[in-house]
């Protein structure tokens, strides 16, 4: 098994930004398989383009556009069934980064597929900062990353808590069918919960209101599709479940402070 040291990844490294003890890396990969390996430091792996299957000792993860995986240091895994071309964004964090900031963390172990829209928004904001890369990007990236770890801990605590059955049902429906514009009644019937109770209790378990959560998922779907330069904005609007381009643009800007057109301009080369 190969042990990858700081800043090392498979594939062709296209962009590296180092901020003290953070290493932000963008890679392109054209192979079909990566053997068992582990990384020296914890890191986030964000799939920008492409598909693959990642297998660790405990589980299998299907990787597609917009998939965000958290890796604790030294966790071993391998990747197979890669698409012909894929691009990933990595955020690698050395332990000394936490110590220098006097930042206490109690992070989960293992390889975790992070589906929280709030965490994905934070990682996407960091990715955008690497494209802007101006005099304020360093402080922006570190600030967003600290917030990301708080969200990660919060999400982990919620996952460990005893949750009613409807929580997992609703989460599965929303993530599996983000393009479906369910009414509150339709969603509550599927989850077998009163619509008023669903609306009131949703924030407690998801960290956002029901409408915010659904919109954020749609925005992330749009962001992943915008990296495909062959799709028009109208196509992206349709595939991500927005009623029209104006609505998509408004929600996108509220999330990332940038329009879909501007996002495509800075992220697609």
pLDDT in tens, 225-242: 998 888 999 999 999 989
Count of CA atoms in the C-beta half-sphere (13 A) of 105: 26
CA angle at residue 258 from 22 to 52, to 5 degrees? 55
Single out the residue of 143, 151, 141, 146 nearest to residue 108, CA to CA. Answer: 151
Q: How far apart are CA 178 and CA 25, in angstroms?
A: 29
Kindly list the distances between the CA atom of residue 249 and the CA atoms of 180, 222, 240, 252, in Å, as whole numbers in the listed order. 19, 10, 12, 5
User: Which CATH superfamily hosts domain 162-267?
Assistant: Homeodomain-like (1.10.10.60)
pLDDT at 261: 92
Question: What is the model's pLDDT at position 255?
Answer: 93
- The domain segmentation of the chain, as residue ranges, is 6-159, 162-267
> Would you state the pLDDT for residue 20?
86
Which residues does 121 contact at the CB level (< 8 Å), separation at least 6?
Answer: 216, 219, 220, 255, 256
CATH superfamily of 6-159: Regulatory protein AraC (2.60.120.280)
pLDDT at 80: 83
| Ranges of the chain whose pLDDT falls below 70 | 102-106, 108, 157-161, 269
Per-residue confidence (pLDDT) for residue 68, from 0 to 100: 94
3-state SS record for 103-120 = CCCCCCCCEEECCCHHHH
């Amino acid at each position: 098994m190969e042990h990858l040291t700081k800043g090392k990844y498979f594939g062709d490294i296209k962009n590296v930004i180092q901020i003290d003890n953070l290493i932000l890396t963008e890679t392109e990969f054209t192979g079909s398989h990566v053997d068992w390996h582990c990384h020296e430091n914890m890191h986030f792996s964000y799939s920008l383009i492409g598909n693959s299957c990642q297998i660790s000792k405990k589980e299998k993860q299907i990787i597609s556009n917009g998939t965000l995986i958290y890796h604790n240091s030294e966790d071993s895994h391998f990747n197979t069934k890669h698409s012909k071309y894929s691009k990933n964004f990595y955020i690698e964090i050395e332990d000394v980064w936490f110590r220098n900031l006097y930042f206490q963390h109690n992070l989960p172990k293992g390889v975790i597929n992070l589906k929280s829209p709030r965490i994905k928004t934070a990682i996407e904001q960091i990715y955008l900062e690497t494209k802007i890369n101006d005099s304020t990007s360093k402080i922006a990236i570190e600030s967003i990353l600290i917030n990301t770890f708080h969200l990660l801990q919060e999400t982990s605590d919620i996952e460990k808590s005893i949750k009613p059955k409807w929580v997992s049902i609703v989460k599965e429906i929303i993530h599996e069918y983000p393009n479906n514009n369910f009414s509150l009644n339709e969603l509550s019937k599927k989850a077998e919960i009163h619509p008023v109770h669903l609306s009131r209790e949703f924030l407690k378990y998801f960290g956002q209101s029901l409408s915010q959560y659904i919109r954020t998922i749609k925005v992330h779907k749009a962001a992943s599709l915008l990296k495909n330069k062959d799709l028009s904005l109208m196509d992206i609007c349709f595939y991500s479940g927005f009623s029209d381009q104006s609505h998509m643009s408004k929600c996108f800007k509220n999330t990332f402070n940038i329009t879909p057109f501007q996002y495509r301009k800075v992220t697609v080369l």
